[in-house]
């Protein structure tokens, strides 16, 4: 019995350590093979994606290691393995809820509190979905990613195996939700699969619901950047009334007025500022910029080379940021 437990422990450890980068790499290869990045990955965006993927790891991983190995034992010396008696099933349920609900709030508040928006804007500035942009985040957003510290604390308290099991499942769901491969499409297409689709799209994040969150507009009945904040569980959006399910994929992604801020500003704002005038990341830029209107966005999609002029007719039109 102990050998079996040990086997599963090693399996989960390996999936956590090696499996996830392999999954991202494998899906990335598929996306490129299907031509999903064709003409959609300009040089500036490549720099943003690659720097956001590599550089935070050099900062965050040592920070989490310090927090786990030195900070927690120093603050709570008696608490190590104090909850190791919790059965795996309950440990898994408790962590899945605590972890993902915390992340739901972290994510939602970055969309609803104006001054937090600029720390999350980088993730939404990509005009495409896929593995390339999945890790695209400002360094501050990544460093203060509450869920990382929560998981580390749970491992310290003796809930390591369920915590890692949750992490493996969550990484898979969130990665697949960001993928440009619409794996959920057959569930909507075939009548026999529709009951499964009904449950699935309410329980976890799918490409349709998460792509809607990354849409450039919220006016077409498909895109909905004012909600769909869930990462692993979509259930939070259902419970809190922030869900929008259309079973369709947006025609345009990103921020309507985005004009390619430099990778340094996107990764390291507020330490580095954007040179793009009027950008939210520019030295005197607005906290939240008014969104280009839907017609202007459609024109831009038609002729991607020409950026559209800003239309400030409606004060509530703010990109990806939600204040209502």
Partner 1 sequence: MKMEKATKDQIVRNVILSLFIYVLPIVAMFITFLITGQRPWEKKVHKIENVKPSTFKNSQNNGSND
Contacting positions for partner 1 (CB under 8 A) = 73, 80, 84-87, 90, 93-94, 97-98, 101, 105, 109, 112-114, 239-241, 286-288, 322-324
Q: How many CA atoms lie within 13 A of 224 on its CB side?
A: 21
**Shortest CA distance to 50 belongs to which of 120, 132, 129?**
132
Q: Can you say whether residue 39 is alpha, beta or left, with left for phi > 0 and alpha for psi between -120 and 50 degrees?
A: left
State the nearest-atom distance from the C-beta of 219 to partner 1, in Å: 19
Nearer to partner 1, 55 or 97 (CB): 97
Start-to-end Cα distance in the chain? 54
Identify which of residues 75 and 287 has a Cβ nearer to partner 1 in the complex: 287
How far apart are CB 113 and partner 1 at their closest, in Å? Answer: 6
Minimum gap (Å) between residue 321 Cβ and partner 1: 9
Least Cβ distance, residue 305 to partner 1 (angstroms): 31
Please say which residue, 113 or 312, places its beta carbon nearer to partner 1: 113
> Minimal distance in Å, beta carbon 86 to partner 1?
7
254: alpha, beta or left? (left if phi > 0; alpha if psi -120 to 50): left
Query: How many whole angstroms separate alpha carbon 51 and alpha carbon 49?
Result: 6
Nearest-approach distance from CB 222 to partner 1, in angstroms = 23
Query: Could you give the C-alpha distances from 61 to 10, 143, 168, 231, in angstroms and in order?
Result: 21, 9, 17, 21
Handedness of CA 254, 258, 264, 270 (dihedral sign): negative
| 54 vs 239 by CB, closer to partner 1 | 239
Nearer to partner 1, 184 or 292 (CB): 292
| Most distant CA atoms of the chain, gap in Å | 67
Q: Which is nearer to partner 1, 90 or 198 (by Cβ)? A: 90
């Amino acid at each position: 019995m102990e050998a079996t437990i040990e086997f599963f422990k090693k399996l989960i450890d390996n999936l956590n350590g090696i499996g996830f980068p392999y999954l991202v790499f494998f899906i990335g290869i598929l996306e490129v093979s299907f031509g999903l990045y064709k003409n959609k990955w300009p040089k500036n965006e490549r720099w943003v994606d690659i720097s956001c993927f590599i550089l935070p790891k050099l900062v965050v991983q040592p920070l989490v290691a310090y927090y786990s190995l030195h900070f927690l034992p120093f603050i709570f010396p008696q608490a190590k393995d104090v909850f190791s008696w919790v059965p795996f099933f309950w440990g898994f349920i408790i962590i899945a809820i605590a972890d993902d609900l915390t992340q739901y709030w972290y994510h939602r508040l970055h969309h609803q509190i104006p001054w937090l928006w600029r720390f999350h804007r980088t993730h939404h500035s990509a005009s495409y979905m896929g593995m390339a942009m999945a890790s695209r985040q400002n360094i501050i957003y990544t460093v203060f990613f509450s869920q990382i510290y929560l998981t580390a604390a749970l491992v310290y308290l003796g809930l390591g195996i369920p915590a890692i099991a949750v992490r493996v499942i969550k990484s898979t769901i969130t990665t697949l939700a960001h993928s440009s491969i619409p794996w959920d499409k057959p569930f909507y297409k075939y009548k026999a699969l529709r009951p499964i689709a009904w449950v699935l799209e309410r329980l976890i994040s799918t490409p349709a619901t998460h792509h809607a969150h990354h849409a450039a507009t919220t006016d077409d009945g498909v895109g909905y950047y004012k909600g769909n904040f869930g990462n692993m569980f979509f259930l939070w959006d259902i419970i809190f009334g922030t869900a929008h399910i259309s079973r369709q994929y947006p025609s345009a992604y990103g921020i309507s007025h985005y004009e390619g801020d430099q990778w340094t500003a996107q990764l390291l704002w507020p330490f580095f500022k954007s040179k793009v005038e009027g950008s939210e990341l520019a030295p005197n830029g607005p906290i939240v910029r008014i969104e280009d209107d839907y017609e202007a966005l459609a024109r831009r999609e038609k002729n991607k080379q020409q950026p559209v002029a800003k239309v400030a007719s409606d004060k509530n039109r703010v990109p990806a940021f939600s204040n209502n």
